[in-house]
Structures are given as structure tokens and as C-alpha cells.
């Protein structure tokens, strides 16, 4: 009996050691893949994503962090310098910074590029390499409160600039004035990059409605920032600022959808990516959408200014590039991208992915819209943020449209030599026949 008991104890001990070793071995064989993103809004999707990815890739443990856009650049640069990130959220604007471009791995040989919109492929390309695996397209739109419009006597969506200003006037009168808690337009402009959304939506139906090749002309020196079309953009931008809530430049961007949902604001001029936040806020009114009609002719107000909203890049030199490739290829699978479109309501980069939300369908599948890419003015807008900083002065009354036009032209001239290589790359991508013909 003692011998049998001893045998059992030994057997149990061996089994325990074996199980412990197996668990420890599994854990030891898992490699941590550090991922950083600026899409804090996509938290629920990436919880699902990580669970599914790790099921199929049991040798990888994903450490996923996201931070708001205000702090993303600083954190990303810090982690890149410290070697603490393997996959990071990126945008085409990153190509204008050697800080990022030097760290990006060429993804051209990945099996992810089928069915992707040709314009998106362009935006993910610099030189002969593709550095960004794109996950979404986004555009500048107007969300509006249908109930408040009706109460203010606005019977139809505005289709011209005059109709839009008339709607703003009616909303202001109906609300009894503009304060921090009510206004025709709500916006959070403390995150200064958000000013670009407004500039882009105004520009699309003025500049490129009149001259689709305006940015080609600007790049080649056939025009400059004192062009009458730019002056018109800035004049209308100055007009629109008076209809924002008081303190717009002091409010965080992320707060705008929630404030809009209170029903005290007529419109929110924003990126289409805010749709998920608007839905999550559960407003008790019907939300509509239209393109900002900045042209005086209704037939020309059909340009939706859109871009690659985001994607992922792989950090070079980490030793974990092969694992990172598996992360990218999993993310870009059709079933995963459809799940992303469903949960995050972002515009799909692939032609075989569908959006289901009614407003998303208006944004991304509208046969009446003419989609014009932001790539055509990225090199103008991105130069050390000078447009953003100067445009903010319109909101605070420190400048006017005429003075701002002169300032932007001077700054554009000043930065042009520095920007020449990027502009050349942009021309090669978008106008190869003209450059090489």
C-alpha cells in the first residue's frame, strides 16, 4: 500500500511539473507584438480583433495601446526612438516627415492589395514602395439636427452658399443667440488640426469645383496662394466662424459629438469618421448629412473631399517584422475589414466591403458625389502646420481673410524650396503622363 501511495504521489508530482512546464513553455514561446494607434474610438473592435488574432496566432501576444490624436505624435516618436513599438497607426501625411518614413517597412510584397481603391494605393505609396496598410477612407461632411432645422423653419437641406448662411441665420434666431451651449454650428477646435476639416470642406466646392487641377498648377508655379479661389475660401471661412459656439477654440475635439447630441446645435462640420461617436451618443433627434455647399451654384456643390483615414505601418529593425506582417495580413482580410466597417462605420478601402449604416452609405456610396482626394493639397496644408495656426487667427479675430491670404502666400513661398522633393513625388504619383510625357 505504501509503495502504491508513493507511486501515486510521484505520478501526481510528475503530472504537475509537466503541466507547469507546458504552461510556462506556451507563455515563454509567445512573442509580444507592440501596437500603437490613434483611433481610440475603435476600442471595441480591437478587443474583438485581438481575441480572434491570438486564437489563430497562439505564438503572438498583442499589446495594444491607443491615444487621442492630440498626444499621438509625441508618444509615437518617443516609442519609435526607444524601440518600443512594432506596428503603428499611420496616415499619408507621415510621408512628409523623415522621422516616420525612415522607420517604415516596405509592405509592397504583402498579400493585401487586392480590391483596394487605386487612389488609396497612391496615398499609401512613396517613391516605389508602399508603407501603409490602409484601413479606412474618410471625408468632410456636415451632420445636422433634422428636428432643429424644422423648428427653425428650414424646409430643405441647403444647396448653395447663400442657402447655407440663411440656415445659420434662422438657427441663430430660433435658438435666441449664440452661447457656449447653443449655436448653429458646434466644433471642438482646441485640437488645432481639426481646423483642417473645415478648410477642406470649404475648399472642395470652391477651388476644385472651378479648377480640378488647381494643386497641380500650384505645384508647378502656375499659380500661388494669392489666387482668387484661395481668397474666396478664406472669405467664406471668415463668414462661417461667426456661427460657431462661443469658446470653440477652447473645446476638445472629442467633446463635439456628445455636445451635438444634446440637441442645442444645428450642425457639426466634421469628418465622416465621427459617425460612430454620434451614434454612440444616442441623440433623441434624427441626424442628417449633406456636403457643405460653399459654391454659389448648386450644381457645383458635389465634391466630397476625402482621404485615407488611417492604416498601419511596420517599424523597421525590431526583429519582429515577420510577426508584424501577420498582424497586417490578418487585419486586411475581407472578413476582418467587413467587421471593421460594421463596428467602426468607417469608409471601406476595398471595393468588396460594404457599409450598412444609412448615413455611411450617403458618405461613401453616393452616386451624386464627386470624390476628390485630399492628396492634392496635402503638401500645401502640411507645411509645418502654418495653415492651421494662421486660420485659427480668424476664429479669434486676430486677422481677417485678406491679411490671411497674404500671410499664407508669403509662408508658402518661404517653405516651397524645403518641400520640393515631396512635391516632385506627389506629381509623379498623380500626374505621371505630364511629368514623364
pLDDT tens digits, 22-41 = 343 445 589 999 999 999 98
The pLDDT of residue 297 is 97
First to last CA, the chain: 95
How confident is the model over 298-331, as pLDDT tens digits? 999 999 988 888 999 999 999 999 999 999 999 9
Cα torsion 116, 117, 120, 121: sign? positive
Per-residue confidence (pLDDT) for residue 196, from 0 to 100: 82
Beta strands in 240-379 (DSSP E): 265-271, 287-290, 303-314, 370-373
At residue 376, the pLDDT reads 59
Q: How confident is the model at residue 2 (pLDDT cuts 50, 70, 90)?
A: very low
How high does pLDDT run on average in the chain? 88
pLDDT at site 375: 55
> Smallest Cα–Cα separation from 305: which of 383, 215, 217?
215
Give residue 161's pLDDT band: very low, low, confident or very high (50, 70, 90): very high
Task: Decide which of 150 and 190 is more confident.
Answer: 150
Calpha distance 104→65 (Å, rounded): 19
- For 84-134, what is each residue's pLDDT tens digit? 999 999 998 887 777 898 999 999 999 999 999 888 998 898 888 999 999
Q: What is the enclosing helix (H) or strand (E) of 340?
A: helix 334-344
Above 60 in pLDDT, residue 7? no
Its pTM surpasses 0.75? yes
Query: Counting beta carbons within 10 angstroms of the beta carbon of residue 90, is it exposed (0 to 12), middle (13 to 18) or buried (19 or more)?
Result: buried
**Count of other CB atoms within 10 angstroms of residue 118:** 7
Q: How far is CA 323 from the centre of its chain?
A: 26
* Predicted local distance difference test score (pLDDT) of residue 23: 41
Do residues 329 and 113 touch, judged by C-beta distance below 8 A?
A: no
pLDDT recorded at residue 111: 93
Amino acid at each position: 500500500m505504501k509503495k502504491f501511495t508513493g507511486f501515486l504521489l510521484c505520478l501526481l508530482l510528475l503530472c504537475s511539473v509537466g503541466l507547469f512546464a507546458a504552461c510556462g513553455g506556451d507563455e515563454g514561446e509567445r512573442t509580444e507584438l507592440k501596437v500603437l494607434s490613434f483611433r481610440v474610438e475603435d476600442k471595441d473592435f480591437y478587443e474583438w480583433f485581438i481575441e480572434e488574432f491570438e486564437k489563430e496566432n497562439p505564438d503572438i501576444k498583442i499589446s495594444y495601446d491607443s491615444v487621442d490624436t492630440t498626444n499621438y505624435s509625441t508618444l509615437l516618436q518617443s516609442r519609435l526612438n526607444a524601440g518600443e513599438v512594432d506596428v503603428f497607426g499611420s496616415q499619408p501625411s507621415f510621408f512628409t516627415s523623415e522621422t516616420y518614413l525612415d522607420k517604415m517597412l516596405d509592405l509592397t510584397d504583402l498579400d493585401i492589395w487586392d480590391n483596394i481603391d487605386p487612389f488609396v494605393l497612391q496615398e499609401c505609396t512613396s517613391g516605389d514602395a508602399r508603407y501603409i496598410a490602409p484601413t479606412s477612407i474618410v471625408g468632410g461632411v456636415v451632420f445636422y439636427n433634422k428636428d432643429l432645422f424644422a423648428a427653425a423653419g428650414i424646409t430643405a437641406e441647403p444647396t448653395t452658399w447663400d442657402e447655407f448662411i440663411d440656415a445659420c441665420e434662422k438657427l441663430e434666431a430660433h435658438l435666441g443667440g449664440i452661447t457656449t451651449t447653443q449655436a448653429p454650428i458646434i466644433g471642438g477646435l482646441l485640437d488645432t488640426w481639426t481646423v483642417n476639416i473645415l478648410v477642406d470642406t470649404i475648399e472642395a466646392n470652391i477651388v476644385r469645383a472651378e479648377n480640378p487641377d488647381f494643386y497641380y498648377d500650384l505645384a508647378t508655379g502656375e499659380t500661388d496662394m494669392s489666387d482668387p479661389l484661395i481668397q474666396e475660401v478664406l472669405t467664406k471661412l471668415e463668414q462661417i466662424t461667426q456661427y460657431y459656439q462661443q469658446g470653440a477654440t477652447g473645446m476638445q475635439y472629442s467633446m463635439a459629438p456628445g455636445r451635438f447630441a444634446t440637441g442645442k446645435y444645428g450642425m457639426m462640420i466634421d469628418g465622416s469618421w465621427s459617425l460612430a461617436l454620434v451614434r454612440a451618443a444616442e441623440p433623441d433627434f434624427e441626424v442628417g448629412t449633406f456636403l457643405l455647399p460653399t459654391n454659389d451654384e448648386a450644381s457645383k456643390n458635389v465634391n466630397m473631399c476625402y482621404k485615407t483615414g488611417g492604416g498601419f505601418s511596420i517599424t523597421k529593425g525590431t526583429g519582429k517584422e515577420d510577426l508584424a506582417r501577420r498582424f497586417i495580413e490578418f487585419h486586411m482580410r475581407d472578413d476582418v475589414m467587413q467587421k471593421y466597417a460594421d463596428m467602426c462605420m468607417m469608409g471601406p478601402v476595398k471595393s468588396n466591403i460594404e457599409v450598412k449604416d444609412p448615413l455611411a452609405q450617403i458618405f461613401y456610396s453616393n452616386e451624386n458625389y464627386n470624390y476628390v482626394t485630399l492628396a492634392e493639397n496635402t503638401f500645401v496644408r502640411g507645411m509645418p502646420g502654418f495653415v492651421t495656426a494662421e486660420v485659427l487667427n480668424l476664429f479669434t479675430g486676430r486677422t481677417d481673410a485678406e491679411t490671411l491670404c497674404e500671410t499664407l502666400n508669403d509662408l508658402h513661398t518661404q517653405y516651397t524650396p524645403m518641400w520640393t522633393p515631396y512635391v516632385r513625388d506627389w506629381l509623379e504619383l498623380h500626374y505621371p503622363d505630364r511629368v514623364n510625357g
